[in-house]
Amino acid sequence: MANNIQSNLSKDKNYDDEALKIGIGGKLSPETNEGLYKKRMKKRKEIQSKRLEMRKSQKGLVIVFTGNGKGKTTASLGMAVRTLGHDQKVVIIQFIKGAWETGEEKAFKKLFNNITWHSLGEGFTWETQDRIRDEECVINAWQIAKKYIEDNSYKLIILDEINIAFKLGYLEPLEVVSFLKKLHNQNNHIVLTGRGAPKTILEFADLVTEMNLIKHPFRDQGIKAQKCVEY
């Protein structure tokens, strides 16, 4: 079985390389003759069909949105909307946020029935100024999160800012990975957000996206956090 998997991965790689070589078309393609361009795109479609045919398996995914750029929680909320659109249940557990109600929380509660929202943090460290209480909140959030993760009726579990909890030393990444490894027949997807995702989490995850900070109005222009943008 292992040999078959390796063989399929090798074929996948070959098709990926061919797709990259052919390109995505448009005015990036070198052809000046439309007939030759159509021939190139026909070949690209054939390769794409083979790529899709090779990838038939499905499973519950561990997804990480990290990096110093803006958009990590926002990306996870986009997945939540998509999941709710398929009439599946979503739970959002916030490990750090919770001292204020955000626009997204108000909207989700107002528009959707299949959403469960737990804001279990009490704010940033410089606001709480109590790391003992902060750690208690994180541990409580993780205990609640585990129950939802084990419940396959929830298709999407978002662990918002859990990476920050790791970074602050309130929760061990290995504890989370060990718990997830013990699960069987999991069909739900688990999203971990927050900057500074630890190596243990990155290596275990199925999908990792890093948001890269290029410009930010708070840092570059001295503009404060605003409704509809930050919360």
Catalogue the active-site residues: 68, 70, 72-74, 82, 124, 126, 161
Q: Which residue has the tokens 């519950």?
A: 60
Distance of CA 160 to the CA centre of its chain: 10
Best CA proximity match to 112, nearest among 90, 94, 79, 92: 90
Reported as half-sphere exposure (CB side, CA atoms, 13 A), residue 21 has a value of: 8
Reported as half-sphere exposure (CB side, CA atoms, 13 A), residue 224 has a value of: 2
Distance CA 207, CA 212 (A): 16
On whether the CB atoms of residues 62 and 205 are closer than 8 A, the answer is yes
Phi then psi for 18, rounded to 5 degrees? -65, -45
Distance CA 154, CA 81 (A): 14
Distance of CA 224 to the CA centre of its chain: 26
The DSSP code sequence of 35-89 is HHHHHHHHHHHHHHHHHHHH-------EEEEESSSS-HHHHHHHHHHHHHHTT-E
Helix (H) or strand (E) holding 143: helix 131-149
